[in-house]
């Protein structure tokens, strides 16, 4: 049996800083690996999730110069948890600013979960800037996908966790949980915000892996993380990512000619496999890997193996 690939050793950035992107926002960025090696950009999930040291370890540091950044309002970017001037298209513009700052013409774009949504939006807007596209846990942000996770669907598999998600919301408001949570996540009362943020965030943290992984889910309950994650994610999802319904799949023809890899867990709860399959049919040039016995998280062994193989496979291109 072929041994599964896993993370490269821990590595520190060789450069980092804050970039003023306008609108009152400054985003944290870092570069890891070898300066001048193959350029890549890593797009984290959420939205609002931020980057972590493990994300650097998805790339061979001897062969990549990878830029990672905290999207507007999360991680080390400021102002924290801010929703103003924070949309998909602001983030697409930020990626271009970072590319220009890095001084590269084209780069590999790697995105998982919400990061796959943002990667698709960026690649369909600027296909000439993308050398390869690696997507994990594909999310196309349609109304059906949102309803599946936040109104009906996943609740059938996790009734115990769903009850905790419902707890902050009165019975009469549960017909539109997105709106009910938005009301609380934008409340001027920090305590109200925090109660809602933790319930929202932990619902995701506890349903992204096939089996419980406290080391993964516990972070979702931390105050600062939960506030940024829940407020920004709810903000984006309330507005359907400022995307037209079905836009990312409809425009997949713009990816023609871009080499790619799609990696998706068979039992991914937040992001049903159906939509990755539809993307695969619309963009047949990409290698498509369904990972058996896996959920959504990039750290699950089968998913991680395929992601490392993907970055290795493109490293010398």
Question: Per residue, what are the HEC states of 65-117?
Answer: EEEEECCCCCCCCECCCCCCCCCHHHHHHHHHHHHHHHCCCCEEEEEECHHHH
Cis peptide before 47 (omega within 30 of 0): yes
Residue 296: active-site member: yes
* Residue of 60, 268, 289, 305 with catalytic role: 268
Which whole-number Å values give the CA distances from 88 to 33, 71, 141, 233, in the listed order? 28, 10, 11, 11
Pairing of strands 38-43, 15-22: unpaired
Residue 264: active-site member: no
Distance CA 194, CA 191 (A): 5
Distance CA 72, CA 107 (A): 21
* Residue of 77, 113, 116, 201 with catalytic role: 113
Q: Which helix H or strand E contains 15, and what residues bound it?
A: strand 15-22
* Residue of 44, 116, 296, 305 with catalytic role: 296
Residues 86/10, Cβ–Cβ less than 8 Å: no
| Structure tokens, 295 | 């959920």
Distance CA 141, CA 47 (A): 12
Residue 268: active-site member: yes
Distance CA 155, CA 315 (A): 40
Pairing of strands 25-33, 64-69: antiparallel
Q: What is the C-alpha end-to-end distance of the chain, expressed in Å?
A: 28
Q: Which residues are catalytic, by number?
A: 113, 268, 296
């Amino acid at each position: 049996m072929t041994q599964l690939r896993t993370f490269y050793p821990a590595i520190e950035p060789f450069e980092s800083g804050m970039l003023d992107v306008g609108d009152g926002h400054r985003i944290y960025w870092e570069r890891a690996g070898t300066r001048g090696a193959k350029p890549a950009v890593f797009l984290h999930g959420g939205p609002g999730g931020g980057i972590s040291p493990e994300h650097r370890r998805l790339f061979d540091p001897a062969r990549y110069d990878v830029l990672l950044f905290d999207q507007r309002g999360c991680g080390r970017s400021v102002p924290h948890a801010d929703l103003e001037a924070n949309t998909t298209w602001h983030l697409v513009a930020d990626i271009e600013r970072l590319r220009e700052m890095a001084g590269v013409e084209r780069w590999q774009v790697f995105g998982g979960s919400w990061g796959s949504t943002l990667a698709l939006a960026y690649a369909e807007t600027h296909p000439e800037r993308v050398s390869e596209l690696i997507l994990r846990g594909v999310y196309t942000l349609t109304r059906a996908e949102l309803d599946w996770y936040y109104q009906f669907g996943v609740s059938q598999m996790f009734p115990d966790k769903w009850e905790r998600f419902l707890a902050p919301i009165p019975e009469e408001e549960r017909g539109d949980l997105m709106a009910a949570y938005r009301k609380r996540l934008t409340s001027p009362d920090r305590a109200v915000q925090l109660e809602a943020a933790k319930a929202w965030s932990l619902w995701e943290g506890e349903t992204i892996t096939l089996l419980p992984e406290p080391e993964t889910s516990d972070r979702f309950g931390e105050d600062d993380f939960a506030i940024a994650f829940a407020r920004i994610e709810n903000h984006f999802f309330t507005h359907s990512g400022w995307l037209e319904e079905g836009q990312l799949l409809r425009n997949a023809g713009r990816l023609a000619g871009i080499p790619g890899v799609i990696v998706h867990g068979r039992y991914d709860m937040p992001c049903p496999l159906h939509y990755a399959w539809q993307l695969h049919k619309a963009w047949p040039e990409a290698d498509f890997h369904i990972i058996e016995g896996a959920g959504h998280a990039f750290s699950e062994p089968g998913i991680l193996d395929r992601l490392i193989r993907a970055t290795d496979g493109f490293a010398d291109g």
